[in-house]
Homo-oligomer: A and B are copies of this chain.
Amino acid sequence: MHNKQRRSIPSSVLTKYKKEFQSVSLSPQTIQRCAPKVTTVTNQTNKLMHSIKEAIEKSGLKDGMTISFHHHLREGDFVFNQVMAVIREMGIKELTLAPSSLTNTMNEMVIECIKDGTVTHITSSGMRGSLGEFISHGGMDNPVILRSHGNRPRAIESGELKIDVAFLGVPTSDDYGNANATVGKSVFGSLGYAKVDAQYADKVILLTDHLVPYPNTPISIPQTQVDYVVEVEAIGDPNKIGAGATRFTKNPKELKIAEKVKDVIVHSPYFKDGFSFQTGTGGAALAVTRYLASEMEEKQIKASFALGGITKPTVDLLEKGLVEKVLDVQDFDKGAAEGMARLENQQEIDASFYADPSNKGAVVNQLDVAILSALEIDTNFNVNVMTGSDGVLRGAIGGHQDAATAKLTIISAPLVRGRIPTVVNDVTTLITPGKSIDVLVTEVGVAINPQRKDLIAIFERIPQIPVFTIEELQQKAEKIVGIPEPLQFTDRIVAYVEYRDGSILDVVRQVKEFEEERS
């Protein structure tokens, strides 16, 4: 069976999902929300537990339940491993692990939990490193469900993802559960992903390394949603929150791409007073932000808001008065996290507000310009940010599908990476359909989606922006690195890729072992 995007999805999977991917334009629907089961607290009972174990026991966590974590602490997270160690020790099995995402620091623990049956199901934004290898080589019986940051709150609100117990690391809390992430030893700014879990999980356990007197303010997660609080030595290493993400690139190719991205934005009809943008992270994205800032300063253009996972350079724009508001669902470095505590116009938003297609209007609906990355982009502008050139899981959907709803969605990517082409005939895994991509920017030139005739007409007249067809770019890439051997997969599905509306968009299959190929 092939779905509308010509992805090969077995009919059994289409049946299971009921919703097959239809379109990147979603029609209004009326949806009955679900809600948690709340165990009421009607007195001053101290919610403070002596240990993680005591909190887990009181929560009633048992075999077969669903647990969640946030990934705000990224590679500096100490919460996941601490909690899972206790759960394993307690012998609780067959859990569904439903974090907002999984970072490398969690990988070994997840693998051990799968091996001993503690975890039998996973849903995540993505996975990388050893865990990606493990899953792609068939390490788990049940396929992983991959959801974007906007699709996750949608699934939670609709009841498709019912969280029994949420374990949420917070940089500060009082003993009744009022928490924020702007004060403490391990500040990370916005609790955007965690806020959704706190609101919808039946039981909510906070872990903090900075307990303060009641009542703690400002309140990002309120006492009304929290069952237990556990004080731990450390929730994380704040120096590792932004590891890798916020380094300013010196790579000439990346700088060249960044400059071209800036050129595309500046010459587009969206670059005017009050425009809005999401630049994302990574060296090239930070360079775009810097180049854009100069243009804004020069042309006296002020943005209404900047969105997404926020970094220090975006906060600098706010402080320079080049951006009116910064909306943070997540902060990628200390500078951004500290800005949230200090700057009135840096506003914490939750993941539903950010990108959920099933509320009364997410902020991505208002977005003018989004700059996104790609591992692969094909001649239909379909993008893969999930599987590598070896077919192995090594990425995350993040907000990719969600932010691609912007009026001008730009994919910023090198034509090739080493011996591996970025522009291909068919993406290995479809994450964001080409219908929602407008422009590809590479170091050699740009390609505009043929459906955007308006943009083609504009950029034809701008000599400093060399425009190619996407097929031309694909051929240029092929010329450099040749035609790669087709990847070999087994029939076994290791992951489902959902579109942001919860429909099934693609599947990831187990990679063929070298031994198998030979036999």
Contacts and interface: CB of A to CB of B under 8 A. Distances in A.
A217 B359 contact: no
Given A35-B34, A213-B304, A217-B325, A224 B362 contact: yes
Oligomeric state, in copies: 2
Interface string A25-66: 111111111111111111111010000000000000000000
A269 interface: no
A353 interface: yes
Contacts of A29: 39-40
Contact of A35 (B32, B40, B353, B365): B32
A225 interface: yes
A129 interface: no
Nearest to A154: B40
A176 interface: yes
B360 A224 contact: yes
B40 A223 contact: no
B353 A224 contact: yes
Contacts of A227: 360
A365 B42 contact: yes
A389 interface: no
Contacts of A395: none
Please classify how large the interface on chain A is, using the bins under 10, 10 to 19, 20 to 34, 35 or more.
35 or more
Nearest to A31: B38
B33 A38 contact: yes
A95 to B, nearest CB: 21
B365 A44 contact: yes
Given A38-B359, A213-B324, 19 more contacts: A26-B40, A33-B35, A33-B38, A35-B35, A35-B157, A38-B157, A40-B358, A42-B357, A45-B361, A176-B361, A176-B366, A215-B327, A215-B347, A215-B363, A218-B347, A223-B363, A224-B353, A224-B361, A226-B360
Interface of A: 25-45, 47, 157, 176-177, 204, 213-215, 217-219, 222-227, 274, 304-305, 324-325, 327, 344-345, 347, 349, 352-353, 356-363, 365-366
11 contacts: A26-B42, A31-B38, A32-B35, A43-B365, A213-B274, A217-B325, A217-B345, A217-B347, A218-B344, A218-B347, A219-B349
